[in-house]
Amino acid sequence: MTTDWWQRLHDAGPASTSDIADFATEIRRTTLVTINRAGLGHIGGDFSVTDILATLYGRVLRVDPTQPDWSDRDRFILSKGHAAVSLYSTLALSGFFPMDWLGTFTGPLSALNGHPNRNKVPGVETNTGPLGHGFPVALGCALAAELQGSERRSYVVIGDGELQEGSNWEAFMYGGHRKLSNLTAIVDRNRLQQGDRTENTNSLDPLDAKVEAFGWEARVINGHDLDALYSALTTPSDRPVAVIAETTKGKGVSFIEDRAEWHHKVPSAEQVELALQELGS
């Protein structure tokens, strides 16, 4: 059994840009309600990555929610694991697990805690939460695909603050060295980390030049432009691709957008109402 969303995005032929836009809105609405109910979450980082997730699950990844362990599936890793609720919402809407699991988020013995756990949540490839782990694991997934002669691809989303962890640069270095054209690293470049702007803390610019110097093809795009995302995520390359998705933390809700304090603030009931109005349906 596939969900209505899965049928609309996949079973009825390739999704259109407006299908993906609707899917993204539904992910944001679901995320908002889930966080408010639990009283915990990272809404800023959830909303900045939502269009990326909608594009990946709506029209890029070769995955099957009815067989989450299919061996030749594409691999997707959300390295910035604190954005768990946007991933959970995407996976539930896609049919990887029942929607009503979302209501248990952070509750006693729930499968869904604040950071994704592959042993409890179908569709999750590796446990993330400590920053700087997902990229090397995705690199390993890509090396395995190459060794096994599989066409499957590996994708990882990394926070821009997260890029301050040295492990990412070790992965850039080896991915470039191996010319892993089956690997795509997506940087959620919202220019904010937990406490401040990245450029006030430990600056990353010029990010495109840095990753190019490590042997990657940098694609700098607007991370909320669904067509640009689709093209950046699907156009082949002879090198590993780094999609630098310029995003807005908290995208979609005016009073949440681009503010450090919304890294993990929880919206009140009133704010949820306002936010749902702004998001539309």
Partner 1 sequence: MTPVLTDCRVPFAHELIDLARTDERVVAVCNDSVSSSNLGEFRSLFPDRMFNVGIAEQNMVGVAAGLANAGLIPFVCAASPFLTGRATEQIKADVAYSRANVKLVGMSPGVSYGELGPTHHSIEDIAWMRALDGLPIVSPADEAQTRQAVRWAAEYHGGAFLRIGRFKVPSVSEGQSPAFHFGIANTVRHGDDVTIIASGVTVSRALAAAELLADQAISARVLNISTICPLDADTVIAAARDTGHIVVAEESVSRGGLGGAVAELLAESVPVPMRLLGVNTFAPTGSVEFLLEHFGLSPEGIAAAALELVGRG
Ligand X SMILES: Cc1ncc(C[n+]2csc(CCOP(=O)(O)OP(=O)(O)O)c2C)c(N)n1
Direct distance between the N- and C-terminal alpha carbons of the chain, in angstroms, rounded to an integer: 25
Contact between 128 and ligand X by CB under 6 A: the answer reads: no
Binding residue (CB under 8 A) for partner 1 from 202, 231, 234, 268: 202
- Cα torsion 111, 112, 116, 122: sign: positive
Total of residues contacting Mg ion (CB under 5 A): 5
Q: Considering the complex, what minimum distance in angstroms separates the CB of residue 273 from ligand X?
A: 24
DSSP designation for 10: I
Given a contact cutoff of 8 angstroms between Cβ atoms, the answer to whether 113 and 119 are in contact is no
**The one among 130, 213, 235, 277 contacting partner 1 by CB under 8 A:** 130
Cα–Cα distance measured from residue 256 to residue 50, given in angstroms and rounded to the nearest whole number: 14
Pick out residues in 173-202 that bind Mg ion (CB under 5 A).
190, 192
Q: Cβ distance 265 to 257 under 8 Å?
A: no
CA torsion sign for 101, 106, 110, 111 is positive
Site pattern 132..161 for partner 1 (x: CB under 8 A) = x----------------------------x
Residue 59 interacts with which of Mg ion, partner 1, ligand X, none, CB < 5 to 8 Å by class: none
- 3-state secondary structure at position 29: helix
Residues sharing a CB contact under 8 Å with residue 105, sequence separation 6 or more, in sequence order: 34, 37, 38, 85, 88, 112
Stretch that binds ligand X, among 31-39, 50-58, 142-150, 158-166 (CB under 6 A): 158-166
Query: For residues 43-73, b (16+ Cβ closer than 10 Å) or e, as one string?
Result: bbbbbbbbbbbbbbbbbbbebbbeebeeeeb
Q: Does 160 bind Mg ion (CB under 5 A)?
A: yes
Binding mask 56-95 vs partner 1 (x if CB under 8 A, - otherwise)? -------------------------x--------------
- CB-nearer residue toward Mg ion: 125 or 160: 160
Residue 250 binds Mg ion (CB under 5 A): no
Binding residues for ligand X, per CB under 6 A?
42, 44-45, 48, 80, 82, 129-132, 159-162, 188, 190, 192-194, 249, 263
Binding residues for Mg ion, per CB under 5 A?
159-161, 190, 192
